[in-house]
Amino acid sequence: DTGVSQNPRHKITKRGQNVTFRCDPISEHNRLYWYRQTLGQGPEFLTYFQNEAQLEKSRLLSDRFSAERPKGSFSTLEIQRTEQGDSAMYLCASSLSEGGTNEKLFFGSGTQLSVL
């Protein structure tokens, strides 16, 4: 168990640029989640996958955000035409869902995005 890995740890970009983050979940986990967190707030749900299927996307999520999990393993989150309001910590989490209600999420250390 190597844990959830996210790259890069930090990303500084100029407004209007596109950015892409990568998440490698715990290998046997079938679910993968993306959350966003700003200072003093809790993680805000963005989207999640079960295997390669994207099952839910937050209604608050702009069309500039897209996520993929092409082979049910790693995932990428892309933000197009970044805005200063996109500055946040982007957290990835994975879990092994076996149909029960006690779902335990394992989080990565996150990617800190700063949009200048």
> Which residues make up the interface to other proteins (CB under 8 A)?
4, 33, 35, 40-45, 48, 56, 91, 93, 101-110
Contact 28, 72 (CB under 8 A): no
C-alpha–C-alpha distance, residues 5 and 116, integer Å = 25
Q: State the minimum distance, in angstroms, from the CB of residue 38 to other proteins.
A: 10
C-alpha–C-alpha distance, residues 92 and 32, integer Å = 7
Q: State the minimum distance, in angstroms, from the CB of residue 56 to other proteins.
A: 6
Q: State the minimum distance, in angstroms, from the CB of residue 100 to other proteins.
A: 9
Tokens of 31: 């679910």
Q: State the minimum distance, in angstroms, from the CB of residue 81 to other proteins.
A: 26
Contact 13, 19 (CB under 8 A): yes
Nearest to other proteins of 42, 81 (CB atom): 42
Nearest to other proteins of 4, 113 (CB atom): 4
Nearest to other proteins of 17, 114 (CB atom): 114
Question: At 70, is the secondary structure helix, strand, or coil?
Answer: coil
C-alpha–C-alpha distance, residues 4 and 23, integer Å = 7
Nearest to other proteins of 44, 68 (CB atom): 44
